[in-house]
Structure 1
Amino acid sequence: MKGQAFSKKCFLILIALIFLCGCWDQRLLKETTLLMSAGFDFTEDGKLLGTVTSPQISKENVADKALFYSEQGSTPNQVRNALDRKVGEVIDPSKLRVIILGSELAAQPIYPILDLYYRDPRSSISSKLVVVEGTAKDAMRVPILHTLKPSEYILDLLLSAEESTTVPNLNLQTICPIMFDPGQDFMVPYLSTVNDELNVQGVAMFSNQEFTGTLDTSESTLFLLMDDKKGRDGSLTLKISDHEKQEIKNYITFSIEHTKVNRKTQVSKENQVKVDISLVIKAEVSDYPHDQLTTREEVLKLNDKLSVLLTEEAHTVMKKMQDANCDGFGIGRELIALYPETWKSLDWEKDYSNIEFNPTVTVEVIQHGIIN
């Protein structure tokens, strides 16, 4: 009996060893070049210029230093192959954090640039996508004083802007279905270089995969609020008067505590599309140099003033979106789902700019400081 039990155990161990074959497909870190950020531009002769950053790896650890490589090619894959030959190791895109597009390149359909990252199973489709004013190569080489890793610096900028309701929380994975949806467009962060520093300037609007316009930071915040996509925090600064001698007294800054959005799309018998958007903002005054909020009457007057100003700005946002032909709210998607016959009768590329938007913003100050 003991011999049979022993033989059975040996047989089971042998079977286990056959299936536990080990890490036959391992790829050592020293044999790869990790891509942390990638940027694309056009050269003067129309070629594709790719720029990547990779951490400098030593025997001890990963040093706080980034290595830059640039190569040209006709396609992103040809650029990658050229970079492979330059760096010596196999390029690994699995840790890619940010893809940066120059503004000239982004003005043409961007999917051909991104196609490689969707097809390659090693790619990180959680990477952020941004557009920069000028070229991606210049933006990636902006001197960074507090850190030498451009990918981390840019990613921190984007995450902070997402939390403050300045840019939408999107990545390659969430953008992909929108790019092929005829009833919806998207926006991505828009960066620029100011005094040798990278700054989030708002969002880049896209129509049919093409960069067609921008919204500044206050406009993008208002758009996100109307689209019911408030981040963890958010604030707005408005000019509420022109007659104060001290300029600072003409402005107010308030934090956005809570919001409520109601959007209604209607279609008339003549297939005229009308969109009503109602946004209610519960606000906390954080900077008001007037210091005149001691009575309920003053607070109500301020509510009315802020409501009028933000409603006017909301109309400006709608106008810019229609001029850029960017259906960021996905109105076309609503028509496809709820009014299919109307959708079939429309040429959305032309008719979107003619639909009627009626935004209304109501502000209610619920907190104005601990003193008064």
Structure 2
Amino acid sequence: MCKGEIGPYKKARTLLLLMLVPLLSGCWDRVEMNDVALFMASGLDITEDGRLFVSIQVPIPSKEGTSGTLDKTYYVISASGTNIYDVERKCQLLLSRKFFKGHRRVVFIGETLAQKGIEEILDYYSRDPGTRLRTYLVVTKGKQAIELLRTDHPYERIPSEEVRELERNGVGTAVTFRDFLINQERDGIVPVLGAVEIQKPQTLVEKKDEKSKLNVFQLSSTAVMKNYKLVGYLNDIETRSLMWIKGELKHEYLAERIPEAGGSVGVVLKKTEKKIKTVIKDGKANIHIELSGDGLLHESNVELDISRPESVAIIEQGLSKLITKQTLHSIRKAQTELKSDIFGFGLLVHQYQYGTWKTVRDDWDTIFSDADVFVDTKIHLRRAGMISSSLENKGVHTE
């Protein structure tokens, strides 16, 4: 080889590098933001003739930065069809921009559709690569989903963002696609979803300005979904009992009247725990539940000197008795009205007494409905504030 002549290896390497140059010219498959319509939320309903009706909430880019105005910052697109794939395709034809589902945080399910069943809907979402498994599923209590998507909110420019923030902050029951699908496939537990309601702001004086007409969303109920169908709701107190038994209650505010103390108290529970023991003998289940909570006394309107340990003990016993009563009521409602083991008692039997579970699995709904339930609650107040008794009992009055 002559000096300065390029060898075969160097020629091949140079040729390979030249072939790669066109691939370095940029993002050939890029999608500009100006060409994208963001999914913020979806609403699923059913028409009178049984067709699926889907609504999609998308922001209006030109008004996203606007503040202090009631101008619309979002747009709702709707269409009906055979299934979700068909409807989303029709909705896409109504927009010049391509849908992007990665920003969708909430899917609202109308009450009528939830009662009919959502199994086919979940089949699509579980296969769709554009659906995030951490998207929240919410039932619109007493309403169609499109009604909620079209309801303006006084604080959020995109109304569905308010529901997402409530879910993230631990208000009510927060259930994602992933949570629901996992519980649906488990033995011994009936899955639930959060339920949202549209509420008018409470006021003592009627205002005539436009803002007073805006509604707010309340996310304190729980929708019970047995075999993919809505069978009933739990209210806020029953939801608290459910979350406590399942170990999902992180903190809670109790505002209750204690007859034994002659007044009412406000307590913040900072720590809650539960212990559950299920004994099955001759086809009969006995369920023993121990609930405990540590909290702080934030308000006291009782006829007691709370600097005295015996007075605090009276409040603790009164709260414990009340929580026990509320918990038993919630469980009996699940046994008799809903006929659904939403607490997961059967799941615990499946996990820790598998041999027993195999013998009772097929009859668990009946066994749960006939089970004897015992609840013992212990509330402990670690701090009672800086004063020993209520201002009223001290004789302090304000003019």
TM-score, normalising length: structure 1: 0.87
Matched with 1:31 is: 35
Contact 2:111 2:144 in 1 (8 A): yes
Larger mean Cα displacement after TM superposition, 129-138 or 178-187:
178-187
Matches within 5 A, 1:124-139: 124-133=132-141, 134-139=143-148
Offset of 1:312 from its aligned partner? 0.4
Instruction: Give per-residue Cα distances to partners, 1:107-154, cap 9 Å, x unaligned.
Output: 132121222221111212210011111111111222212222022122
Secondary structure of residue in 2 paired with 1:364: strand
How has the CA–CA distance of structure 1 residues 329 and 34 changed in structure 2, closer, same or farther, with 3 Å as cutoff?
same
Alignment match of 1:274 (pick from 255, 274, 286): 286
How has the CA–CA distance of structure 1 residues 183 and 307 changed in structure 2, closer, same or farther, with 3 Å as cutoff?
same
Take 1:340 and 1:49, find their aligned partners in 2: how far apart are those partners? 46
Instruction: Give per-residue Cα distances to partners, 1:75-130, cap 9 Å, x unaligned.
Output: 11121111111123332222211001111211132121222221111212210011
Take 1:302 and 1:309, find their aligned partners in 2: how far apart are those partners? 11
Matches within 5 A, 1:219-368: 219-231=238-250, 233-241=251-259, 250-268=263-281, 270-290=282-302, 292=304, 293-322=306-335, 323-337=337-351, 338-345=353-360, 346-368=362-384
Q: Does 1:202 align with 2:221?
A: yes
How has the CA–CA distance of structure 1 residues 239 and 213 changed in structure 2, closer, same or farther, with 3 Å as cutoff?
farther
Contact 2:261 2:315 in 1 (8 A): no
Contact 1:157 1:200 in 2 (8 A): yes
Amino acid at match of 1:237: A
How has the CA–CA distance of structure 1 residues 21 and 180 changed in structure 2, closer, same or farther, with 3 Å as cutoff?
farther
Alignment match of 1:145 (pick from 147, 150, 154): 154
The number of equivalent residue pairs is 360
Offset of 1:42 from its aligned partner? 1.7
Instruction: Give per-residue Cα distances to partners, 1:276-302, cap 9 Å, x unaligned.
Output: 110111121112223731211111111
Secondary structure of residue in 1 paired with 2:116: coil
Take 1:22 and 1:354, find their aligned partners in 2: how far apart are those partners? 67
Take 1:218 and 1:234, find their aligned partners in 2: how far apart are those partners? 11
Amino acid at match of 1:288: S
Take 1:290 and 1:14, find their aligned partners in 2: how far apart are those partners? 85
Secondary structure of residue in 2 paired with 1:175: helix
Q: Does 1:186 align with 2:166?
A: no
Structure 1, unaligned runs of 5 or more = 245-249
Contact 1:128 1:170 in 2 (8 A): yes
Amino acid at match of 2:259: S
Matched with 1:247 is: none
Offset of 1:202 from its aligned partner? 2.1
Q: Which has the larger radius of gyration?
A: 2
Offset of 1:69 from its aligned partner? 0.9
Secondary structure of residue in 1 paired with 2:339: coil
Amino acid at match of 1:192: E
Secondary structure of residue in 2 paired with 1:236: strand
Instruction: Give per-residue Cα distances to partners, 1:204-238, cap 9 Å, x unaligned.
Output: 1221222222222232123212221123x321222
Amino acid at match of 1:45: D
Across the aligned residues of Structure 1 and Structure 2, the Cα RMSD in angstroms comes to 2.7
How has the CA–CA distance of structure 1 residues 261 and 20 changed in structure 2, closer, same or farther, with 3 Å as cutoff?
farther
Offset of 1:311 from its aligned partner? 0.4
TM-score, normalising length: structure 2: 0.82
* Structure 1 segments (4+ residues) deviating >4 Å: 1-9, 14-22, 60-64
Contact 1:55 1:63 in 2 (8 A): no
- Identity in percent: 21
How has the CA–CA distance of structure 1 residues 63 and 73 changed in structure 2, closer, same or farther, with 3 Å as cutoff?
farther
Matched with 1:159 is: 168
Contact 1:40 1:49 in 2 (8 A): yes
Matched with 1:174 is: 179
